[in-house]
Amino acid sequence: MARWTDLSANTSSKISDAISGSAFNPTWLQLEDQQRLIAQFLHYLLVDQSSVRDATTKHPELATVAKKLFPQDDEHLYGVRSLQYARELDEQNVARAWASLDVPVLALIGEFDIRTLPMDHEYIVAIVNARGSGNGTWRVLPKMDHGFALHQSLKESATHEFDGPFGEQVVQETVTWIQEKTRP
């Protein structure tokens, strides 16, 4: 199973896209450099267990990345999740946990989700379905962000994530899925 830090290069493009409207403002040619900085920074935090301050002191080139990933303080990734939470998650074999399930699983992603990728949800479903159970399903919900708030564009979602009307479609999709799974 890949560790969170191993996957960061794949997922950091969404992070870079989300933060590109401010100080980063990358061109396509700069995006690779930014992804590498994000992956390097996450390695220092999660694998080496460095603090944000220690990582940026030793590697000043990571200061801009650090400010974007930790906008409020040095302990809350994206101003929401604690650094300790990220470290604990990084230590888990999440694929093994998904593989251990023998129950129906619905993985939902918003069309304008900047925190996860559709392939993350496909991966969950592939793991759940590896036993041949067909228990895993995933769906993309139009115009929604990671918290299922509605937006008109990816840019709006990136600048106003979680801030918008709740996408009622998430409830409808979930209820429909439950009904499908519980029919005899």
Distance (Å, rounded) from C-alpha 107 to C-alpha 164? 22
Portion of the chain with pLDDT greater than 90, in percent: 70
pLDDT in tens, 44-86: 999 999 999 999 999 999 999 999 999 999 999 988 899 999 9
| Residue in the structure block whose two tokens are 């400010």 | 67
Spell out a b/e string for 22-46, using b for 16 or more CB atoms within 10 Å of the CB, else e: eebeeeeeebeebbebbbbbbbbbb
| Residue in the structure block whose two tokens are 């937006």 | 151
pTM greater than the 0.75 cutoff: no
Distance (Å, rounded) from C-alpha 127 to C-alpha 146? 22
What is residue 115's predicted lDDT score, i.e. its pLDDT?
A: 85
DSSP code, position 144? B
pLDDT band at 28 (very low <50, low <70, confident <90, very high): low
What is residue 23's predicted lDDT score, i.e. its pLDDT?
A: 46
pLDDT in tens, 79-130: 889 999 999 999 999 999 999 999 999 999 999 998 899 999 999 999 999 9
Domain boundaries, the chain: 4-90, 94-182
Distance (Å, rounded) from C-alpha 157 to C-alpha 161? 5
Compute the mean pLDDT over every residue in the chain, rounded to the nearest whole number: 86
What is residue 8's predicted lDDT score, i.e. its pLDDT?
A: 39
Give phi and psi for 156, each to the nearest 5.
-65, -40
> Per-residue pLDDT for 11 more than 50?
no
Q: Return the half-sphere exposure (C-beta side, CA atoms, 13 A cut-off) of residue 169.
A: 16
C-alpha angle with apex 50: 47 to 54, nearest 5 degrees?
A: 150
Distance (Å, rounded) from C-alpha 163 to C-alpha 158? 10
